[in-house]
Amino acid sequence: MVSPPSDSYKHKSILYLKFFTIVFLISCIPDTGNLCSNNSFSIPIVQSHEGSSKNIPSSLRKLNLDGYFSFDNNDHAARDFGNLYHFLPVAVLHPKTVYDISSTIKHIFQMGSDSELTVTARGHGHSLQGQAQSHQGLVINMESLEEIGIQVHNEEPPYVDVSGGELWINILHETLKHGLAPKSWTDYLHLTVGGTLSNAGISGQAFKHGPQINNIHQLEVITGKGEVLTCSEKQNAELYYSVLGGLGQFGIITRARISLEPAPKKVKWIRVLYSEFSIFSRDQEYLISLENSFNYIEGFVMINRTGILEKWRSSFNPKDPLEASQFNSDGRTLYCLEIAKYFNPDHETTIMINQTIENLLSALSYITSTLFQSEVSYVEFLDRVHESEMKLRAKSLWEVPHPWLNFLIPKSSIHDFAEQVFGNILTDTNNGPVIIYPVNQSKWNSRTSFITPDEDVFYQVAFLPSAMPSSKGKDGLEHILIQNRRILDFCTTPRLGIKQYLPHYSSQKEWQTHFGSRWEEIVHRKLAYDPLAILSPGQRIFQKVMYPPPN
């Protein structure tokens, strides 16, 4: 744990906590251009402020680092995947070592009320609402860390040590050289470890292994005071649980020890369709309840789409081509169950896997003519989204606004949600994937900072539209944001118990509602590890408090 504070510091901490609580309860996060409040619809305002030398502390320039600061031409740090907000920092740190980050944060912490400078750790810049940006603050380019690399330990149980700025796709390729791989993934692998662990890291394996934050043995973290601490379930446990799913509020992850398992070589990849949501959700819930189920279970919603099965034929084969050719979607809302079984392609295993798949499918009630299958490599399956990215980049359709919404919805509310959202709000063709699948609460650790619905089973639902530049139609940003507003309004109904994933709020009251009964715990953790609120201002949970740090 952190070294015990002095009595003087304890006394000051109590005063600071009272001050924090008062500030937090009576004030909202400062307005920086009407950041798409959840209380009213607005088009996000893009702000780009030139970083001037007067905003850059001269002492920052004098720090002795292995890496370096860039004070000019930092437009890249004022963008993210969401492409909705542009906030220019005064500087970007390109660290080579953990010391570079630690000494910089410690220096800013020691400046106390003399500086309003804040710090944001930026991985691959895949945030949606400016969370990886720092308005006139300092951005740390985590991908420039060089000293850790990827170190695979083929012990029992096996694990891998990696930098917080390492991409999951690189970890996959390196661990596969040892016949191993992490257990839990995200759908998109070109993200950094620190970025996904600061949120949760969810994909179709989460029903079985939990999110990525549940598959971590140990972390190295730099707190908002510049301390470098190793933490785990047994060492500095409070910091460990604070940082996991902590939205970057309590520390910057510079190293992670990730649990591994034997890696398969091949994947049986299957898609089937449903016309009734109740049957679709029943089958998904049945599959995640089984001990010997598929390795991956997801699903998605298709509204008023035509030629669905024909599009699948480029990557999947129909079990019955004749039946498949006679299927007509008729503009209906359809629900696709997407499942996968991992295996190694020796003769005996292949026979057993095929039989297991047949047994599992026989218990489901999908539209039989829509059964499509494919056999791909493990890497090809896990990196499937990257192929779509390359196609969109080729058409200049990747770096467009992405006004995404992500929710965690209790099982008891999922049918109300489907009826209202899929039946009344999304009445036209959805402009981008709508992903939906259930997970088991028992696979999540309630001690982390991550907030889930309070039910044994809840659903991850993601709306992933892309807004076409300059469009004033249904694929334009304004139309999508209005539609998002209607979905958000419905999801705030208290009885539904819905939580945002990758949450975005603009007022402290909304954040308090999000954290619920754990709000005081979150405030306590903030005080313990980032008492000046230096870290991750882009989340807009806390603002930097202007008083000197304790001696």
d(CA 479, CA 5): 53
375: Cβ–Cβ under 8 A, 6 or more apart, which residues?
Answer: 266, 267, 268, 269
Per the residue annotation, which of 86, 126, 209, 402 is the catalytic one?
Answer: 126
3-state DSSP helix/strand/coil % of the chain, to nearest 5: 35, 20, 45
d(CA 273, CA 251): 43
Cα Rg for the chain, rounded, in angstroms? 24
**Is residue 72 annotated as a catalytic residue, yes or no?**
no
- 481 alpha carbon, distance to own chain's centre: 20
DSSP sequence for 296-333: EEEEEEEES--SHHHHHTTT-EESSHHHHHT---TT-E
- Mapped onto helix, strand or coil, the DSSP state of residue 496 is helix
535: Cβ–Cβ under 8 A, 6 or more apart, which residues?
Answer: 105, 118, 119, 120, 121, 224, 248, 249, 250, 251, 252
Per the residue annotation, which of 143, 298, 383, 510 is the catalytic one?
Answer: 298
- Mapped onto helix, strand or coil, the DSSP state of residue 262 is strand
- Mapped onto helix, strand or coil, the DSSP state of residue 272 is strand
Q: Dihedrals φ, ψ of 434, to 5°?
A: -120, 110
DSSP sequence for 348-400: HHHHHHHHHHHHHHHT----GGG-EEEEEEHHHHHTHHHHHHHHHHHTT-SSS
472: Cβ–Cβ under 8 A, 6 or more apart, which residues?
Answer: 478
Angle at alpha carbon of residue 109, lines to 247 and 201, rounded to 5°: 15
**Is residue 126 annotated as a catalytic residue, yes or no?**
yes
Q: How many CB atoms lie within 10 A of CB 223?
A: 26
Per the residue annotation, which of 66, 147, 187, 261 is the catalytic one?
Answer: 187
**Is residue 298 annotated as a catalytic residue, yes or no?**
yes
Please tell me what DSSP assigns to residue 167.
B
- Going by C-alpha positions, the residue among 533, 482, 483 that lies closest to residue 508 is 533
DSSP sequence for 443-468: GS-TTSS----SSSEEEEEEE---PP
Q: Which residue has the tokens 């860039």?
A: 70
Are the C-beta atoms of 524 and 242 separated by less than 8 Å? no
Helix axes 7-26, 519-529, angle to 10 degrees: 130
Neighbouring C-alpha atoms within 13 Å toward the C-beta of 522: 24
Q: Is 427 left (phi over 0), alpha (psi -120 to 50) or beta?
A: alpha
**What are 196's two structure tokens?**
């996904």
* C-alpha dihedral (372, 298, 463, 309), degrees to nearest 10: 0
Are the C-beta atoms of 342 and 292 separated by less than 8 Å? no
Point out the residues that are catalytic: 126, 187, 298
